[in-house]
Amino acid sequence: MSAEIIIPGELDDSLDPTQHDVRPQRRRALTQGRGLVGLVLVGIVVVLGFAAPLLAPYSPNEQIPGANLLGPSSTHWLGTDEVNRDVFSRMVHGIRVDLLVVFLAVPLGAILGSLVGLVTSWWRITDVLTQRVFDVILAFPSLILAIALSAFLGPGLWTVVIVIVAAELPVFGRLVRTSLRTVREMPFVEAAEVVGAGPLWVLRRHVLPNSLEPLTIQLAVSMSVAVFIEGAMSFLGLGVRPPAASLGSLIRDGVRTMYDAPYFAVGPLLVVVALVLGLLLISQALAESRRA
Amino acid sequence: MTANRTDLTLLRRGAAVLLTAALVTGCSSAVADQRNGGFSSGGGEQILHIGSTNDIVPGTVFTNSSDTTNTLIGSVYDSLVDYPLDSLDAQPSLATSWDVAKDGTSITLDLRDDVSFHSGREFTSKDVEFSIRTWADPVWTVQLQRTAAAVTDFDTSDPHRITLGFDHPLSNILDLLDMVPIIDSESFDQLKTGEAYVGTGPFVFESWTPNAKVELSANEDYWGGAPGVDGIEVSVISDPQAQVSALRSGQVDLVTGASNRDLATLAEDDKYTVSQSDYGQQVYVGADLANPALKDVRLRQAVAYSLDRERILDEVYQGAGVTTSIPWAETSPAYDEELAHHYDLDAAKAKSLLAEVGDVGTLPLSYPAGNANYEATAQIVQANLEATGIRTELKPVEFTQFIKQLIAGEFGGLWILQHSYAQYTPSTLAVSAYPFNADKNASHFVDDDYKAHADGAWTRASGVDEGAVKLYGELNKDLIDNAFLLEIAILKGQVATSDKVGGEFTWSKRGELQLDDVTLGG
């Protein structure tokens, strides 16, 4: 009987018992129950944001003469603010800022974090160094990190993006590291290494695919956290600069008129709730499908 | 395993919510405690609780730039004379009488002989000398530093009489004597670090907790009579909205930083009183000539003509003030009715001036962050300028940093702030206030005529005679023609109090709350 030499490029993926097709389960999770509700909520917000130019009756920064702090009406669905702008128009345009933050900053943080976690965790020295850096970042609550970075960068949309990337980077780095440490001990990885598979091949072929599922779930959780971070930063004046609107800045403006016009904050608050709740429901549904 | 991690994350979130709820409950209990007497009202003491916006910065404690500092200085210290709000007719305080030499180069003051510092040490003429010399020290960056430095001779041979000699006549010497607090030299090192503020005023400094509170107790031996309350606690509440909430929840009795919109709402409620001073501060747009575009006076004038002052006053400040193009109130000897409306909104003229200048790029427009009034004003100004064709980028700047930029002249574009000092002898504004000082101002505006007129008005024996008024006319022309500082409105000073607060309530000319006659009842 002659021994067959298997070269890395031809390794059979079926040797990896942790790899199985989860797509049907994931699809099922998102098309029923809480997953569906989450998708619908997020979908509505996304549609509102993308259709803002069509839906908004006014430009978000247009100051309408004489329209100072008007209540909700057929002309101004959510009223006007203290500098005479239509609140509904600002809200739908503000959603775009949050969508940018959610769908740009979080994936960016996830990709960078995963890459850093993936590459540095293979070697002990880089692993120790990276984990200590992650410890330092994670020691600061996101808001403290936001305040510290804002002191250097000044308030603004890109500061929000950088804060979220910085806050999410260690989260995803740690997640990938955990997967790596699990998969690395598996016999099929040892087998691959015996036949000459290098670290990069193992990382790409086994570790990364095994991390994708938890990463997806974490992505949804982090996106909901990002909405909070944007809201909190803008609420504190560290987020987008006036006159630009974001959901957080609109809530802050609404709170300022809380006593004589409490309804201004309602619209933006509902959108934040829908977005955060929707993303959390999606993450829960994905987590459940994985357990199943 | 990862799913478990997600569950843990969700569990942690749930725990965080519960923790937050527990904290809120805890805070509610603290609020209830405070409403029921609180820690500082124990033993039946009448403590006036004040919500104030900005904390004390020991290094700038004499710059009149924070509401907490103003309350501290106004309560703990006395000055030699006090101006009434509506005139320049100085009234006795620590000085009982005074005599200005005919040539205006000296003043002799008789001092009270029954006054002691809070430390127990007797107040003498040496303390007047020390206080004026402190103000003359550039390290304190006080706005009347030049005037204080012009006092070069001190005759303190009599402990209860002092003669001050000047380098040249000083038309605003009584302004200086109204503004300089009489400081205790023995505790001056502690003053520098914020550990002690020892004066002769109606309240005694007890403690300062940075970013939290200042505690004062009543000076029962005050020469003007004991205050109506046992003490004052000033809490630093940087968010104006939170100040209003604190007032409504009973945590504080008086707030200094509520937005005009909130004040208007509070005024409609029987449980609160909104007190007004007719002589508050001026809100303005400054122009930094260090920005090459703003060197062109036509652009600055275009900005001035673009401002919709009436709208800003009505919508942001709820009509609490008067619009103006010059700094002075009607009671000032420099007031000019016609010039006060010189830069009334004129979009056509603004566009015409801008057309002559051409494209100016985007100008930074800075304003103090976290203040609803400034933020709304900045956004209206931005829209006004946009309508003319001038693009701006809003730059919210933290307040302490903003004041540093003002003193150092580091805005690099336009800025929005309030100024004071126009309530004094007009020369005081022109030779002292950071935005106006003819020698060095935040706009980097240097002009020989302006300096000559400012110095001319300053180095006179009288600040109110015919010659002085003529010079004020020239100063007005300089301010209008050069448009480096564009006034929007003279605002009324306003504070809101709960129905517990009674007694007489007023402001000093310096803008400090005068709290010695306030009582707490109800």
pLDDT tens figures, A37-59: 999 999 999 999 999 999 999 99
Chain B stretch 332-361, residues whose beta carbon is closer than 8 A to a beta carbon of chain A: none
Strand partners, B489: B283, B323
Q: Tell me, what DSSP letter sits at residue B342?
A: T
Q: Say whether A256 and B259 touch across the interface (CB within 8 A).
A: yes
Band of residue A16 on the pLDDT scale cut at 50, 70, 90:
low
A191's tokens: 């087998």
Helix (H, G, I), strand (E, B) or coil at A283: helix
Considering only the beta carbons, identify the residue of A63, A82, A291 that sits closest to B3: A291
What percent of chain B clears pLDDT 70, i.e. is strictly above it?
A: 92
Q: Residue A30's domain is classified under what CATH number? A: 1.10.3720.10
Contact A63 B383 (CB under 8 A): yes
CATH architecture for segment(s) B282-491: Roll (3.10)
Listed by number, the residues of chain B in 54-73 with a beta carbon closer than 8 Å to a beta carbon of chain A are none
User: Hey, are the CB atoms on A83 and B265 less than 8 Å from each other?
Assistant: no
Q: Among A80, A82, A288, which would you mutate to test the B interface (most chain B Cβ atoms within 10 Å of its Cβ)?
A: A82
Among B110, B117, B96, which residue's Cα sits nearest to residue B182?
B117
pLDDT of the residue at B4: 42
Residues of chain B with pLDDT under 50: 1-42
Range of A35's domain?
26-64+73-290
Structural contact between residues B180 and B424, judged by C-beta atoms closer than 8 angstroms: no
Of the candidates A118, A290, A133, the one whose C-alpha atom is nearest the C-alpha of residue A200 is A118
At A77, list the tokens: 């669905």
Contacts B211 to A, Cβ<8 Å: none
Q: When comparing pLDDT for A124 and B488, which is higher?
A: B488
Beta strands at B81-82 and B91-92: parallel, antiparallel or unpaired: antiparallel
> Cβ–Cβ of B261/A237 closer than 8 Å?
no
pLDDT at B1: 35
Check residue B79 and give its pLDDT: 97
Q: How many domains does chain A have?
A: 1
Beta bridge partners of B47: B231
Q: Which two tokens stand for residue A234?
A: 């803008």
Contact between B488 and B313 under an 8 Å Cβ cutoff? The reply is yes
Under an 8 A CB cutoff, do B2 and A256 touch? no
CB B264 within 8 A of CB B255: no
pLDDT at A19: 53
- What's the CA gap between A41 and A270, in Å, rounded? 11
| pLDDT recorded at residue A6 | 47
Q: Does B241 touch chain A (CB under 8 A)?
A: yes
Those residues of chain A whose CB sits closer than 8 Å to some CB in chain B are 61, 63, 68-69, 82-84, 154-155, 175, 178-179, 182, 213-214, 217-218, 221, 237, 241-243, 255-260, 280, 283-284, 287-288, 290-291
Decide: helix, strand or coil at residue B429: helix
Is B6-74+202-279+494-520 assigned to CATH 3.40.190.10? yes
Nearest alpha carbon to residue A256 among A81, A91, A59: A81
Cα B340 from chain centre: 22
- CATH for B81-188 is 3.90.76.10
For residue B519, the 8-state DSSP code is: E
Q: Chain A closest CA to B266's CA: distance in Å?
A: 9
Find out whether B481 and B443 touch, Cβ atoms under 8 Å.
Answer: no
How near does any CA of chain B get to the CA of A6, in Å?
Answer: 32
Note whether B315 contacts A243, CB cutoff 8 Å.
no
What pLDDT, in 10s, does the model give residues A56-112? Answer: 999 999 999 999 989 999 999 999 999 999 999 999 999 999 998 888 999 999 999
- Confidence (pLDDT) at A22: 61
Q: Which of A120, A99, A217 is nearest to A164 (CA)?
A: A99
Rounded-to-integer distance, Cα B393 and Cα B361, Å? 10
Residue A135 lies in a domain: yes
Comparing C-alpha atoms, which of B220, B279, B213 is closest to residue B48?
A: B213
Nearest chain B CA: its distance from A140 CA (Å): 16
> Phi, psi (5° rounding) for residue B211?
60, 15
Characterise B504 by phi-psi region: left (phi > 0), alpha (psi -120 to 50), beta (else).
beta
How crowded is residue A195: how many other Cβ atoms within 10 Å of its Cβ? 12
Contact between residue B176 and residue B182 where contact means Cβ atoms under 8 Å apart: no
As a 3-state breakdown, chain A gives helix, strand, coil percent values, each rounded to 5, of: 70, 0, 25
Output the CA torsion sign for A150, A152, A154, A157.
negative
Burial of B503 from C-beta contacts in 10 A (0-12 / 13-18 / 19+): middle
Task: Select the residue of B241, B380, B393 nearest A83 (Cβ to Cβ).
Answer: B380
Kindly determine whether residue B261 and residue A82, on different chains, have CB atoms separated by under 8 Å: yes
A–B interface: beta-carbon pairs under 8 A:
79
* Contact present, B79 and B94 (Cβ < 8 Å): yes
Structural contact between residues A204 and A125, judged by C-beta atoms closer than 8 angstroms: no
Q: Where are the domains of chain B?
A: 6-74+202-279+494-520, 81-188, 282-491
Q: pLDDT tens, A156-169?
A: 889 999 999 999 99
Residue A243, preceding bond cis, omega within 30 degrees? yes
CA distance B372 to chain A (A): 8
> Tell me, what's the pLDDT at B66?
83
Residue A2 CA to residue B211 CA, distance in Å, equals 80
Do A243 and B394 meet the contact criterion of CB atoms below 8 Å apart?
yes
The whole-chain average pLDDT of chain A stands at 84
Tell me the three-class secondary structure of B156-185, residue by residue: EEECCEEEEEECCCCCCHHHHHHHCCCCCH
- Of A20-29, A141-150, A191-200, A270-279, which one has max mean pLDDT? A270-279
Interface contact B261-A260, CB threshold 8 A: yes
d(CA B356, CA B456): 35
Q: What is the least distance, in Å, from the CA of B521 to any CA of chain A?
A: 26
In 10 A of CB A208, how many CB atoms?
Answer: 18
How deeply is B189 buried, as exposed, middle or buried, from its count of CB atoms within 10 A (0-12, 13-18, 19+)?
A: exposed
3-state secondary structure of B414: strand
For B102, the token pair is 């005919």
Q: Do B315 and A68 touch (CB under 8 A)?
A: yes
The reply to whether B405 touches chain A by the CB within 8 Å rule is: no
Option in A68, A178, A259 nearest B265 (CB): A259
CB atoms within 10 A of CB B248: 18
Cα gap B307→B380, rounded to integer Å: 8
Predicted pLDDT of residue B3: 38
Using alpha carbons, select from A263, A227, A230 the residue that is nearest to residue A88: A263
Backbone angles phi, psi at B497, to 5 degrees: -130, 155
Token code pair at residue B378: 């900045």
Closest CA of chain B from A5, distance in Å: 35
Residue B83's contacts (CB-CB under 8 Å, 6 or more residues apart) are B89, B90, B91, B174, B175, B178, B423, B424, B508, B509
Report the pLDDT value the prediction gives residue A239, as an integer from 0 to 100: 86
* Per-residue confidence (pLDDT) for residue B372, from 0 to 100: 87
Q: Tell me which residue in B262, B316, B376 faces A259 most closely, judged by beta carbons.
A: B262
- The verdict on B265 touching A (C-beta cutoff 8 Å) is yes
* Contact assignment for B6 to A259 by CB distance below 8 Å: no
